[in-house]
């Protein structure tokens, strides 16, 4: 278990959760790791919850991550980060898009949305890194690239070489989307590097 990295991606349909999980799996495989990936998506096309587990290491037997085992959780918005927080292990990191999407189940009762989720999780002593990923993506011209901002931030916490991430992006992304996604990824990395310099 000690050599296996466990990452959970969580969001709602249309946010590109499965894409960035696939990119991690491909980059980890390119680094020579055994990789297992699984996904759960309900009515994702209608904005339903989507999650993907990625595990990589010398030998991985199961794709499923148990509560308390995740090295990192990537939440595409606040509610999903809160929903999966119990999966994080001690010293793990929760990387969350500081963004809110009201689920259909909330409806008119918007006051029930956990607006203070990030503060709540930090109050529990968890290591929470909040990024304005949607705003950064909008600055780049397409809010759909928020997932790549978060993936870049995650990459700064993993043991996969930058050259392998670049190789994976070039191989997997369509040419017409490569420049945007490469820049979004780089912005995620630079955000982490800036945080570290200020720490």
Residue 140 · residue 180 · CB < 8 Å: yes
pLDDT at 77 over 60: yes
- Cα-Cα-Cα-Cα dihedral sign, residues 59, 61, 64, 69: negative
For residue 22, the tally of other CB atoms under 10 A from its CB is 18
Q: Which stretch of 10-14, 42-46, 80-84, 192-196 has the lowest confidence by average pLDDT?
A: 42-46
Q: What is the mean pLDDT of residues 102-113?
A: 59
State the residue for tokens 């587990």: 53
pLDDT at 109 over 70: no
DSSP state of 51: E
DSSP state of 116: T
Integer Cα distance of 5 and 70 in angstroms: 8
Residue 103 · residue 47 · CB < 8 Å: yes
Q: How confident is the model over 143-152, as pLDDT tens digits? A: 999 999 999 9
Integer Cα distance of 98 and 61 in angstroms: 34
Domains of the chain plus CATH, in order, are: 5-198 (3.40.920.10)
CA trace torsion 134, 139, 145, 147 (10° rounding): -40
pLDDT at 7 over 90: yes
Q: What is the mean pLDDT of residues 24-51?
A: 82
DSSP state of 66: P
Residue 84 · residue 75 · CB < 8 Å: yes
Q: How confident is the model over 141-189, as pLDDT tens digits? A: 999 999 999 999 999 999 999 999 999 999 999 999 999 999 999 999 9
pLDDT at 112 over 90: no
Integer Cα distance of 108 and 62 in angstroms: 40
Residue 78 · residue 118 · CB < 8 Å: yes
* Per-residue confidence band for 114, with pLDDT thresholds at 50, 70 and 90: confident
Kind of pairing between the strands at 49-57 and 88-97: unpaired
pLDDT at 106 over 90: no
Predicted TM-score of the model (pTM): 0.90
């Amino acid at each position: 278990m000690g050599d296996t990295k466990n990452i959970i991606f969580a969001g709602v349909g249309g946010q590109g959760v499965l894409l960035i999980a696939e990119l991690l799996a491909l980059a980890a495989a390119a680094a020579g790791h055994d990789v297992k990936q699984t996904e759960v998506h309900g009515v994702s096309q209608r904005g339903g919850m989507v999650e993907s587990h990625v595990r990589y290491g010398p030998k991985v037997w199961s794709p499923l991550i148990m509560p308390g085992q995740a090295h990192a959780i990537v939440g595409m918005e606040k509610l999903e980060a809160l929903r999966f927080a119990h999966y994080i292990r001690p010293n793990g990191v929760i990387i969350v898009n500081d963004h809110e999407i009201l689920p259909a189940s909330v409806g008119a009762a918007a006051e029930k949305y956990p607006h203070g989720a990030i503060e709540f999780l930090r109050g529990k002593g968890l290591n929470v890194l909040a990024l304005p990923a949607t705003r950064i993506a909008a600055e780049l011209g397409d809010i759909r690239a928020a997932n790549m901002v978060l993936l870049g931030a995650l990459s700064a916490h993993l043991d996969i070489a930058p050259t392998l991430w670049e190789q994976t992006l070039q191989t997997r992304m369509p040419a017409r989307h490569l420049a945007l996604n490469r820049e979004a990824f780089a912005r995620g990395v630079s955000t982490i590097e800036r945080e570290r310099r200020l720490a």
